[in-house]
Structure 1
Amino acid sequence: MLQIVIGYPPIETTKGTPLLSQNRQFQYFNAPTYIYPMVPAYAATLLKDAGHKVYWMDGIAENKTLIEWEKELANVRPDYLIVETKAPVIKFHWKEIKNLKIQNPNLKIILVGDHITFNPLESFENCPVDYIVTGGDYDFVLKNLFDHITKKTKLEGGVYWRVSDKSIKQKPAAMNKLSPALKIGNSGPASLAHNLDELPFMDRDLTKWELYAYENGNYKYKPATYMYSGRDCWWNRCTFCVWDHTINPRGSYRSFSPERLFSEVKYVVDKYNVREIFDDAGTMFVGPKLKKFCELLIESGYNKKVVYGCNMRFNALTKDFYELMKKANFRFLLYGMESANQKTLDKLDKGIKVEDIKNGARIASQAGLEVHATVMLGYPWESYDDAKETIRLARECFDKGYFSSMQATIVISYPGTPLWKECKEKGLLKTENYEEYDMRKPVMKTPMTDSQILELTQELYSAFFTPKFIARKIMSIRNVDDIKFFAMAAKRLIAHLMDFDKEQKRGVLNPKFWMHSIKAMGSQLFSSANSKLPGREIKA
């Protein structure tokens, strides 16, 4: 039996809470937010079921200092530490791995995640990491790695190791010589063909599910939790999405069967009294699978016990499906709007038309579902007027009641994505320092200044601030849950405005922050939702 820690070392920064786990993008939030890491949690469950002693040490969600977390790790004295990483924090992880190796000489460390899948050799060159497991099925592959170490089971594809490591008995499928003294072997391309229905129910006690049950803007009814019905998105093409092009590449999509998903939903509701579930598959399955899952919720009566939410596409469903989802007690649907400019949607390979945004949101909202749109600004090819058109469409959708909420961000070209490759080839990257890919400022050259993009992002976050939308929300209050939810939303809005404020380093008490925020919201309150830029026309 091995002692294994799955951990997130605390990242001590003044920027806010790092959104590292279960996140396709990376961002620091001024509003504390903790997202349940699905694949690491399944990995912990698989390893525990295999007979290993597993510890869950999320120092970020537990609000520990780095020193406290390191002391806890030293007390546990694990044989192995597994860490998920991403581009904006990988340099921190390299430094921390060096420190941990000094503090715990016998500790072996494994990195997983999207960035190391794109460039696994880089981390061996920059820190004394022992293993790298690539691909999005690293829960299955981690179990296989430890089976190999303890039972000499044949290694699946996706594992990288130092050839000098005597624990690996298998001959490498390929080998890279990084220096005369450093040779890295690997077991071949990432293994991505596992049957998800074979996964056990996630051990939510082991993985401390309550850490992630409250501080999350996707939740209205608490305690709440996450499911992960597919890996990852059946569209699987968006050029900015790092998961679509690294850990879950095109052609690798798989999902639970509706019956398997419902069984775990039922288990979680019965055991933990969860009131709401958000399914974080990149896009939830549609068609017969979605129909069957909704029917299972309705026929079992669990549509009266739990509220459900998921990621969806604007052009994926019909009115009948939305009405069925409402009957099954779906509440919250998250859509990637990205832009109101067709050229951008085409370049991103979104597979939607601008008119789909308004039409899809209208049909969903008319069925009684709450539409949340994610939008980005700062594309290299978009002008100031293009960005203003995106804000105008968002405002119109709020004003008409099609959108209920929104997340605004600056687009980041993560290493490994087609967007990043295009920017690198065309000289559009302002920096290749990963630490600056944290969404606090643009990393691509655009026709706009950084200041303009930050101001427009604040303005976009204020797009909801129309008299009709505010009145509609006030009239919709029915109970204490509604009041709590709107209070949380107001608090998070202020924090998100600060995320993109030029004066963010000086804090919420800074008068300039409030001047910028009031200006952004005022520009929406007193502008016409239907005002269009010249030559723009969007039909519903």
Structure 2
Amino acid sequence: DHVTALPQESLKNSKVDFVITGGDYDFMLLSLVEWLEGKSKPESGIYYRDGGKIKNTGIFQLTHDLNLLPFIDRDLTKWWLYAYKNGNYKRTPGTYTMVGRDCWHRKEGGCTFCAWTVLYPKYRVRKPELLVEEIGMLVERYGVKEVFDDTGTFPAGNWLRKFCKLMIEGGYNNEICFSCNTRFGALNKEDYELMAEAGFRMLLFGLESANEETLERINKNVTLNRMIDELKWASEVGLEPHVTIMVGYPWESKDDAMKTVKLARWLFEKGYACTLQATIVIPYPGTKMFEECKEKGLLVTEDWDEYDMRKLVMKAPIDEEDVKELTQELYKSFFTPKYILRRLLSIRSFEDVKFVWRGAKKVLGHLKDFAQ
């Protein structure tokens, strides 16, 4: 996403020969190779050096048919390490899929902070039959027990319902756990029930803030009450909601941020959230938030090494020390008696013990990340 937003700068400040922009890296890399071999003209979206100048083949176009992509040849990588080192997989071996590129909320403008809007300004998705076929291959060839689909927002509506029915018909709901990214406002009670039956486990939601003004300003296009309702629906059918939250918005006061901390604690107390990721808000290049911060003079630095979600890079009503403290408070939401008891009572196997242990270590690591 960074090189797509700033391709010339990326070439200028590195020793690479080419920059491929846009999210279709697989199609585009093949095009680059065939161009270098003299077999065809390059597709648009490639930046390259020509003597002392930087040239390009035009603006990238996301016109490729994702249904034509072959399955990833995992024999070429140590694919199993991603799940073991990630920590979010309850059952291993586990692996990733990505059925869509990338989030259908793009049609409504997308979230203002999301860097993936730069890579994927339009939404495309493969057929549900192809994802089920890939899952079958992963189970049979590699013995995979859990799959996380990293599409920005997993398809909803009729696509989702068809996928769930295919999972059930194929018996894969009993073979694997399936997890994915989703968004509030996409699903109803019946969808969550069907997903639980189809073998879904973790659903990753972008909650981001407990303040309605913030939700509106970052274009989440959903109310706080709706988000709480959906977390309740998902947890009641046995799904495990994971929420992402950010601190350090340039318009939020400390009291505003504390509302989000209190909501997180309440969600864990009620059992409506299972896990959480807390970070500091970052206005990545190419996003609407970056443009707004640049225009209003809110950027503190444009040293991209600082844009790692662990420190403030834009001016905010609260200082960096308070932001880090608030982020720590979000992670401390895990340490409530009710939540700890619920997690211990959920243990059914040695795999569950290892999963809870890995999660505890990750939380302690995050607390250390944001220590003063």
Report the TM-score when normalising by structure 1.
0.67
Spell out, residue by residue over 1:230-271, the C-alpha distance to the aligned partner (whole angstroms, 9 max, x if none): 011111301111111x1112xx21011000111111101110
Structure-1 separation of matches of 2:337 and 2:157: 38
2:71 alignment counterpart: 201
1:239 alignment counterpart: 112
Are 1:122 and 2:9 matched, yes or no?
A: yes
Spell out, residue by residue over 1:124-159, the C-alpha distance to the aligned partner (whole angstroms, 9 max, x if none): 322342111100002101101111221431211101
Are 1:365 and 2:235 matched, yes or no?
A: yes
1:533 alignment counterpart: none
Instruction: Indicate if the aligned counterparts of 1:141 and 1:191 stay in contact, CA closer than 8 A.
Output: no
Instruction: Indicate if the aligned counterparts of 1:375 and 1:409 stay in contact, CA closer than 8 A.
Output: yes
What amino acid is the match of 1:143? L
Structure-2 separation of matches of 1:124 and 1:495: 34
Q: Equivalent residues in 2 for 1:397-436 (5 A)?
A: 397-436=267-306
What amino acid is the match of 1:135? G
What amino acid is the match of 1:157? S
Percent identity, aligned pairs only, is 53
Number of paired residues?
369
Spell out, residue by residue over 1:379-401, the C-alpha distance to the aligned partner (whole angstroms, 9 max, x if none): 01000000000011111111111
2:25 alignment counterpart: 138
Structure-2 separation of matches of 1:375 and 1:128: 36
Which one has a bigger Cα radius of gyration?
1
Are 1:248 and 2:120 matched, yes or no?
A: yes
**Structure 1 residues 473, 126: CA separation in 2 closer, same or farther (over 3 Å shift)?**
closer
Q: Equivalent residues in 2 for 1:167-316 (5 A)?
A: 182-236=52-106, 237-244=110-117, 246-249=118-121, 252-316=122-186
2:222 alignment counterpart: 352
Question: What secondary structure is seen at the aligned counterpart in 2 of 1:235?
Answer: helix
Structure-2 separation of matches of 1:383 and 1:418: 21
Q: 1:150 aligned to 8, 13, 37, which one?
A: 37
What amino acid is the match of 2:115? V
2:264 alignment counterpart: 394
Question: What secondary structure is seen at the aligned counterpart in 2 of 1:185?
Answer: strand
Q: Which runs of 4+ in 1 moved over 6 A?
A: none
Q: Equivalent residues in 2 for 1:516-527 (5 A)?
A: none
2:350 alignment counterpart: 480
Spell out, residue by residue over 1:411-454, the C-alpha distance to the aligned partner (whole angstroms, 9 max, x if none): 11111111111111111111111111122211111111111111
Report the TM-score when normalising by structure 2.
0.97
Question: What secondary structure is seen at the aligned counterpart in 1 of 2:353?
Answer: helix
Structure that is richer in helix per residue: 2
Question: What secondary structure is seen at the aligned counterpart in 1 of 2:256?
Answer: helix
Question: What secondary structure is seen at the aligned counterpart in 2 of 1:213?
Answer: helix
Unaligned stretches of 5+ in structure 2? none
Structure-2 separation of matches of 1:440 and 1:472: 30
Question: What secondary structure is seen at the aligned counterpart in 1 of 2:312?
Answer: coil
Instruction: Indicate if the aligned counterparts of 1:378 and 1:410 stay in contact, CA closer than 8 A.
Output: yes
Are 1:489 and 2:359 matched, yes or no?
A: yes
Spell out, residue by residue over 1:199-224, the C-alpha distance to the aligned partner (whole angstroms, 9 max, x if none): 11100011221221311132000111
What amino acid is the match of 1:127? S
1:460 alignment counterpart: 330
Structure-1 separation of matches of 2:77 and 2:310: 30
1:326 alignment counterpart: 196
Question: What secondary structure is seen at the aligned counterpart in 2 of 1:215?
Answer: helix
Instruction: Indicate if the aligned counterparts of 1:319 and 1:367 stay in contact, CA closer than 8 A.
Output: no
Question: What secondary structure is seen at the aligned counterpart in 2 of 1:487?
Answer: helix
Structure-2 separation of matches of 1:211 and 1:388: 37
What amino acid is the match of 1:220? K
1:447 alignment counterpart: 317
Alpha-carbon distance, 1:463 to partner: 1.4
